[in-house]
């Protein structure tokens, strides 16, 4: 089955710096890669996702890149702010657009990001 | 609040008792997923359900655990004869129906924190 590895497990940056979190996956059939942010004691919140037909996606200070050949994808946060401090999880799944979808997400173990003011 | 609802938020059980966790998906969503999160770890997929149908239960232990999503009412994750190792946060997520183009996206509830004494 699918296996997702995530690095680093902890990341500390200075406010205003960039943060990069990397994930690799094992199943070449995986085609959907979301990223979730989880604050302490709260629910995971979807912050950005990418499908395998796209190499890069950006939403304000957040971007995700995907390399299908190497089977890895990365989250990039620019101009980090203290409120970006949280645990970030990457995930992978195999989905279809119309029917036949498996849907369950396989998560990485998470990266605890600390942004120091 | 049109988000995913879970109750109870906190549940304390003694060893050997039963735990019942409830999840109401977002309005218009027809798919429910249950995940378990141990402290300091990522989320592990347990089961994926549609109304009156279990799609994938490959992540759920064969014994003591069961899940349902009836035609009316919330999805229920049931743990019989709980043991200390069942202590965890249990999150459910919901996604739109197949064919909507956004079926891949899963939105999480606030979780139920189960403590087994």
The reply to whether residue A49 touches residue B99, judged by beta carbons under 8 angstroms, is no
Residue B77 or residue B2, greater confidence: B77
Q: How far, in whole angstroms, is CA A6 from its chain's centroid?
A: 9
CA–CA gap between residue A117 and residue A92 (Å, rounded): 32
The reply to whether residue B42 touches residue A46, judged by beta carbons under 8 angstroms, is no
CA–CA gap between residue A71 and residue A80 (Å, rounded): 26
Give the pLDDT confidence score for residue A2 in this predicted structure.
85
Q: Which residues of B touch A42 (CB under 8 A)?
A: 110
The reply to whether residue A110 touches residue B98, judged by beta carbons under 8 angstroms, is no
B70 has a pLDDT exceeding 70: yes
The B-side interface with A (CB below 8 A) comprises 31, 33, 35, 41-45, 48, 55-56, 59, 91, 95, 98-99, 101, 103-111
CA–CA gap between residue B12 and residue A100 (Å, rounded): 38
A23-35 pLDDT per residue, tens = 999 999 898 999 9
Answer yes or no: are the C-beta atoms of B25 and B32 closer than 8 Å: yes
CA nearest to A49 within chain B = B105
**Residue linked to tokens 């101009």:** A79
Sorting pLDDT into bands at 50, 70 and 90, what band is B112?
very high
A98 has a pLDDT exceeding 60: no
Give the mutation candidate from B89, B106, B108, B112 for the A interface (greatest A CB count, under 10 A).
Answer: B106
Give the pLDDT confidence score for residue B13 in this predicted structure.
98
As given in the structure block, the two tokens for residue A107 are 């998560």
Please compute the mean of the pLDDT values over residues B7-23 and round it to a whole number. Answer: 97
The reply to whether residue B104 touches residue A49, judged by beta carbons under 8 angstroms, is yes
Helix, strand, coil distribution of chain A in percent, nearest 5: 5, 55, 45
The reply to whether residue A44 touches residue B41, judged by beta carbons under 8 angstroms, is no
Residues whose CB falls within 8 Å of the CB of residue A59, separated by 6 or more in sequence, listed in order: A47, A48
Q: Smallest Cβ distance to A105: which of B31, B101, B106? A: B106
DSSP three-state, residue A11: strand
Structural element, H or E, at residue B102: none
Q: Considering only CA atoms, which of A39, A46, A62 is closest in space to residue A107?
A: A46
A33-53 pLDDT per residue, tens = 999 999 998 999 999 999 888
User: Residue A40: which region, alpha, beta or left (left: phi > 0; alpha: psi -120 to 50)?
Assistant: beta
Answer yes or no: are the C-beta atoms of A57 and A63 closer than 8 Å: yes
For chain B, state the CA radius of gyration.
Answer: 14
B95 has a pLDDT exceeding 70: yes
B45-55 pLDDT per residue, tens = 999 999 889 99
A84 has a pLDDT exceeding 80: yes
Compute the nearest-CA separation of B60 from chain A (Å): 12
Terminal CA-to-CA distance of chain A, rounded, Å? 41
Give the mutation candidate from A36, A38, A44 for the B interface (greatest B CB count, under 10 A).
Answer: A44
């Amino acid at each position: 089955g699918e296996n997702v590895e995530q690095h680093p497990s902890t990341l500390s940056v200075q406010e205003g710096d960039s943060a990069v979190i990397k994930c690799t996956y094992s199943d070449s059939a995986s085609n959907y890669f979301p990223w979730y942010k989880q604050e302490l004691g709260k629910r995971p919140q979807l912050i950005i996702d990418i499908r395998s037909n796209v190499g890069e996606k950006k939403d304000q200070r957040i971007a995700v890149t995907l390399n299908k050949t190497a089977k890895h994808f990365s989250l990039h946060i620019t101009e980090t702010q203290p409120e970006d401090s949280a645990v970030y999880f990457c995930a992978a799944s195999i989905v279809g657009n119309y029917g036949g979808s498996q849907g369950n997400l396989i998560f990485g173990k998470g990266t605890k990001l600390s942004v120091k003011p | 609040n049109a988000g995913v609802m879970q109750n109870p938020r906190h549940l304390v059980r003694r060893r050997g008792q039963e735990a019942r966790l409830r999840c109401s998906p977002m309005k218009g969503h027809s798919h429910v997923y249950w995940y378990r999160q141990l402290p300091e770890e990522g989320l592990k997929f347990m089961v994926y359900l549609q109304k009156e149908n279990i799609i994938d239960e490959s992540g759920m232990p064969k014994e003591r655990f069961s899940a349902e999503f009836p035609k009316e009412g919330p999805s229920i994750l049931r743990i019989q004869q709980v043991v200390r190792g069942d202590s965890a946060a249990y999150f459910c997520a919901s996604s739109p129906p197949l064919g909507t183009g956004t079926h891949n996206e899963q939105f999480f509830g606030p979780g139920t924190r189960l403590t087994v004494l």
